[in-house]
Structure 1
């Protein structure tokens, strides 16, 4: 039970534990760490061969590393989640502001058309003529 419980912890926190394992056993290369990708049983065997330590010593050291750094990782995760949440809230607020602004401008435009329908049609017609002339000039220059 002792070894199996530690294996589960190691497998579950492999990505978090990799950097600290490298600090503890400095002779390990990134390539050596990458080849195990969370397979605790193979990794423990490799560490035994590489360091000459007994399985129990290796497991104990890995469990200490995992336990010591998990609270720090938990704090970092909580901070990241809080940052993402505040970003999501800011995006929601910005979207609501844009939606409200567009609705207000739409209502203003609608009122302007109702108050002065002939002028509105004339402005739209003039804008269309000008846009058509600009597009025609641009196409002719090609």
Structure 2
């Protein structure tokens, strides 16, 4: 699944995102609104990782969906 599909189905994808990154709140997911860059930023904030690590995690997640 590419990111355009994720963005288009954001309401359905939020549950899967929350399974992967359980520290993200509902407010975080509302803020992200399907934006890949915003999701990377929130993963960085909540998990205290560098941008490269957040990007890697997101790429791994994308490859599974």
Q: 5+ unaligned residues in a row in structure 2: which ranges?
A: none
Counterpart selection for 1:30 from 26, 39, 43: 26
TM-score (norm 1): 0.37
Conserved 8 A contact 1:47-1:53:
yes
1:56 has 2:48 as partner: no
Q: How many residues align?
A: 60
* Structure 1 consecutive aligned stretches of length 4 or more whose deviation exceeds 3 Å: none
Q: 5+ unaligned residues in a row in structure 1: which ranges?
A: 1-8, 70-142
Q: Which has the higher helix share?
A: 1
Q: How much does 1:17 deviate? A: 4.1
Two-structure CA RMSD over aligned residues (Å): 1.9
**Larger relative contact order (C-alpha < 8 A, sep ≥ 6)?**
2
